[in-house]
Structure 1
């Protein structure tokens, strides 16, 4: 997909480089037409690789000659080539979106499964803790009842001893 985007950028650059007059910044002996030809060669190679699976050297790009107000001539791709590029980008974007949707669904399923496992583990811990509290409460109540019975017995004995004293 990155190469297709590169194609679109090169096509735009190819058109843009011919928008102004040639300058000395392009180097001695270089013109906008030279740059345009280079861009179109790269565009042809990458497009052939992306769409045709070939070496890039067998593909010829139909071009229209257009003149700007500054006398610059450029080779621009036909609308069919641009349409083909856009269709390829859209197709790859659709594939990428479908892959992301599948990955998103898998991620949701993994998170749901993980949360269910964590919830189950917490429920087990809660149940174990509740059982431990019930056992502890039973022991404490049993001990409390035994202590109260012992105290009651001691009070009864003390009371009987007091009655026996009189």
Structure 2
């Protein structure tokens, strides 16, 4: 490819002050002609890298499939949620399925690509539990009738 500069690198592993394994990973660095790094992390974030998209995937992963239920569990504004669901459908992360004819109603399920994000969200949750600020007072993880999905 014209304009690409590829520089091989190595996998670096060490143990930090908290006795945690730290890994810096890259098979190679790829740069565009303008010097920006080309990377699959950036590509993935273009598809699912906003708050609402990841929370939608979380909820569908918890088998919350209907629009109003997803909206309630995420707190997403209606128009924002509709836009995110359309985008996630377009990029192949969720699939819309009709569950009622009159009036037409749809539910959302994860595709294989969407299900592949669940372990990533589990890791993000663990990271958040260790490094993100606590929830504001008055918010809990439990709702009437069971546990709410953790953010």
When the two structures are superposed, what TM-score results if normalisation uses the length of structure 1?
0.27
The higher-RCO structure (CA 8 Å, 6+ apart) is: 1
When the two structures are superposed, what TM-score results if normalisation uses the length of structure 2?
0.29
Larger Rg: 1
Query: Which structure: greater strand fraction?
Result: 2
